[in-house]
Structure formats: C-alpha cells, structure tokens
A and B are shown apart, each in its own frame.
Chain A
Amino acid sequence: MKKYKYILLLLFTLLLAPNILLAKTDEKNILALTLKYYNDNNISHHLWVNAKSKIDGKFQQIPNISVSFYITNYADKTNLLGKAVTNEKGEAMIVMPPNAKAEWLKSPNQNFIVVANETKQFDAAKTELAITKAKIKIDTINGKVINVNLIALIDSIWKPISGVEVIIGVKRLGGILNVNETQTYTTDSVFGGVTAEFKLDRIPGDKQGNIILIASLVDNETYGNLTAELKVPWGINLVYVSNFDHRSLFARRGYSPIWLELLAYIIVVVVWVIIFYLLLQIKRIKKLGIE
C-alpha cells in the first residue's frame, strides 16, 4: 500500500510540475518615467515626461499612459499642475499654469513630481525632479557679436553661473544652427557669460531680414532646459516668389509649358487633319461611284 502511495505522489508531482513551471506569471512590466523641466525664453515653463518600459528585452515607448504632474514633492490635489496622456512616442507635456505661481515663488529651488496611474500592463510609477531656478540672457555687442549670460537664483539673489555649457545659434527649422564653427561655449566665472561671433553672413531671414538668435542650455542636471531668444536683422531679406502661376509640367490647369501645348496641339491637329482628309476621300469615292 505504501508503495502505491509513493507512486501516486510521484505521479501527482509529475502532473503538477509542468503547470508550475509553465504557469504564466501575472507580473506587470515596470514603467520608467523621465521628467524634464523647460524654461522657454524666460516667458513660460513646461514639464515633459517620457514613459518607457523594457518589453521583450528592449525598451519601448509606451503610449496612452495617464500621467499627473505636481509641483513640490507631494502628489496631492493642491499641488496638481495638470494631467496628460502619453502619445505614440510615449511623451506627454504640460505648460505650467498661472495658479502655480505662489508655490513657484516660495523657494530658489523647485521640486516636481510626475505620477503614472496603474494600468492593466503596468504598475503605478512616479519620478521626481529637483531644479535650481536659472535663466539665460542674450544680447548683442559691437556689431555682430552675441553675448550670453547664465544666472541662477541663489539665496534669493540672481548670481552669474560659471562652467556651464551653452549652445548659441540661430533658430532654424525646429533646430539650432550654430553661428560659427564652435559647437558649445562654457560660461566664465565673472559674469557667467560667453561671447560668440556671428559668421552666418548669407543666412536667409524673413521679409525684413530678421533672424532669431537662440541661447540654450540642454538637459542640465541642476538647471534643466533653458532657452533665450533675440530677434536681430542680420539675415538676408527673403522675398518669397511663388511659382504657382508659372508654366510647368506640374503646374495647375491652364499653365502647361508652351512647348508642351505647341507640341500637343500640333500633333493632334496634324493627325486629325489626316483623318478629315481621309474622310473627304470617302466622299470622293462616293462621288465617283454616283458619277
């Protein structure tokens, strides 16, 4: 009897083993959030978040994740800046609303927090960001030389910041075009400033020749992302000439090239003159038959 007991136990174990080994775990994927702060031309501030997760061994951007942005470290209603949903790139952003001003002015440093709600695939996630308030100033000196200063709020006083890399360029097609061969500049210890010589002599501007100079701090761990812009008349006046009404193969109706019109009409006329001539020959044959 005892022998049978062991056999039954062994069978039971063997039957269960695959179920245990192959059982699908209900563990959810881990959602990683990246939070960034932006100061746009010292006018507005926005926060940006990216949601990604390691699925099948590689990181993938996660869309349709509902996220809530908070000012300070406390994720409660009073500190809520706004809510957003990540797009197909896993990104979402909010512009900091005016009602956050009081909280913003309280301290030279600022904390933010973003919280992602739990979904069927992911557990709830959150991430924090601490920045020191800073801004960039941009100006021109002595003709076509650009002067940029980086200052930060330290002990309630705006002080120049040295040793930080900034980019100086011209705003172009959503990117930044360097004003000369130097890619980045490091701020000095005296005014937290840098100067850059503008060498883009033939750059097209708008109708008045205006271009937008931009100084930018990118993904700085202490200050975040800062930009400052300045409009200057250093470009070439761009007069847009529309070729909408020009004759071309791709133009609209009635604007085909003259050579095409001539060629087409000549061919059509020649062929149809021959056809009409032949139709007349039928008439001639008919006349000959009647005679």
Chain B
Amino acid sequence: MTPLEILSATVSGQPSPRVPVFCNLLDQGAKVLKMPPKAYFANGEYVADAQLKMLKHYGHDNVWSAHYVGKEAQLLGCKDILFADNGVPNVADFVIKSWDEIATFEIPEDITQHPHWQVMDDCLKILRDEVGSTNPICAYVTASTTLPVILMGMDKWMELVLIGPVDLRDELVRKCSLFVQKQLTAYRAAGANVIIYASPFGSTYFMPKKRIVDWSMPWMQEDLKAGTDNIVYYGGMAPINTVMQLVIDTLKVNIFYPAPEDDISESKRLINGTGLTSGVLDDIKMIHWTEQQTRDEVKRIMRLGKAGGHFLFGTGFMPLKLPEANILAMLEAAFKYGRYS
C-alpha cells in the first residue's frame, strides 16, 4: 500500500500494514538546500524540491506545501516577516495596527492571483505531480477565530475578543472566515489532500469551553460550511481532548491532531472507533533526548494508540535544533513499533 492508501485505510478502519507516520519537516528544507530561509520560502520550486529530498531521505509519509507562520498574513497584506536562520519565521508587520483599521481591512477577491499564493501553487503543482498519487500533501489553514492573532498580535486580539466591542470583533472574524473558505477551496484545487485546520481559540487551553461553544464553534462551522473532507482539527499544540466530542458533534470533523500533553488513551476513547486521532511526540523534549529515549517514547505512543487502528503517529513542528540521529531513531522506531503484523 502507498502512504496515501495507508492513511485512507486508517481513517476508514480498513486493514493496513502499519500506523501512518507524519513528520513535519518545514524549516529544515532551507538547510537541505543550503539556502537562507527567506530566499528558500520565496520560491515554491525550492520548497517542493526540499520536501521531496527529505521524503526520500527520511522515508516518512507526508510532504508539506510552502507553509510558514506568517504566510497567511502575507496573503492579507503583511509586508515584513522576520526570518531566522535557526528557527521559524515571525510576523514582523501587523496588517491591523488599531481597531479602527478593521473597517477598511479587506479580503482579496481572488487569493490565487496573489504573488504569495503563486509560490504555494508552484510548490503544490510539483508535489502533486511527483507524489500526489502516493503521499499525503499537507496544507495549513488557521481558523477564523485565531487568524487575527497574526494580523494584529495575540494581546490585541485577546483584548478585542474578551473585552472589546462585540460587533467589531465579529466583523473581523467574518472577514477572516471568508478568507479561510477561500483558502480551503484554493488548497483543495491545488492538490493538498490533508488540511491542518489550526484552531487554538477552539482549545480550552485558550478559552473557556462555554466561549468555545457560544462563539468559536459557530464561526468554525462557517469556516467549514463547504465541507470537512480531509480536515484535521489541530489546536496549534494546545490540548484538544476536552473539545473533541464537541468538534465531532458540531463540526462533523473526526480527524484529530492533539497536543503531546493530550492523553492518547482518552483521545482514542473519544473517537470511538471512527475517523482518526494522533499520538504526537513532544519534539521539544526530543532536542535533548538520547536516541534510546526517543525510541522509548515512540514505543510508548504506539503502545497506547495503535491497538484498534484509527491512529497516526506524528510530530510537532520539528525545531531545527533536533539532532539528526534522533529524527532517524524516531522514524526507525515508528516504523518498527507501528507495524500491525
């Protein structure tokens, strides 16, 4: 079976030889091509090339589109990203600098005509042609209730959400939801077949559950009204077990990518033999582990999650500081302990 078939069988509960193994190598691509991150991410062909090289080198299942934090902000007018040679890019220019600017903030009519989308499209075209029939191709979309964080900064958004004018808050989220819908359509058309829907404001780490029910959920329903195919619910590394049942019931999404601190057995209980949940390794701790500690943790995750299927092994957004030996040990263990035979 191809990795894509294994993933599909895992979601539907059909027999498969092993647990799918996702490895989220994003910023590593620039290192592979020995390029500065800014130049690397400016060209979709570079990103696709590096993704394919890493796929061949490590043998994991998935590839990534040209995603980095701030990409969505650039599609909405952000003019400055702080790239770093040793880590993830950072939004350095907020599109919305004051609440007054929400009224004039506009979503592009056709995001696929934007130069920053062109990079994404170039990347996805190559990945689709090369591995689209065999491997999952991942894209990342931030939920409308969280997207303002990269447009105006976390503290300003938190302030507007919690103590600001409700009509202004919802005007911004309505615009963001429109953007989310456009992105989902564009990604699907471009060939992404796994869409990580990141919703930290849909995690009880960020918000009380009542707010999630009353406010986040209706907007997420709006985001996903065209369909939930291939949508993976992700809390942005914040725990999501406490909202999983709510997401299943309300959004009709049953594929989850929890945080390392979410209890795997509880995640499995919640999906109740349908869809998919993931055991996510804490790759920040992994920076300082030995190879044996890494293998032991993979073994533990597989022991908790593998039985009964509907389970994927995954990583966080792997820091550049991760030792190569640990990445190799992790993958070796994932294929060894994730086997079903």
Are A and B subunits of one complex?
no
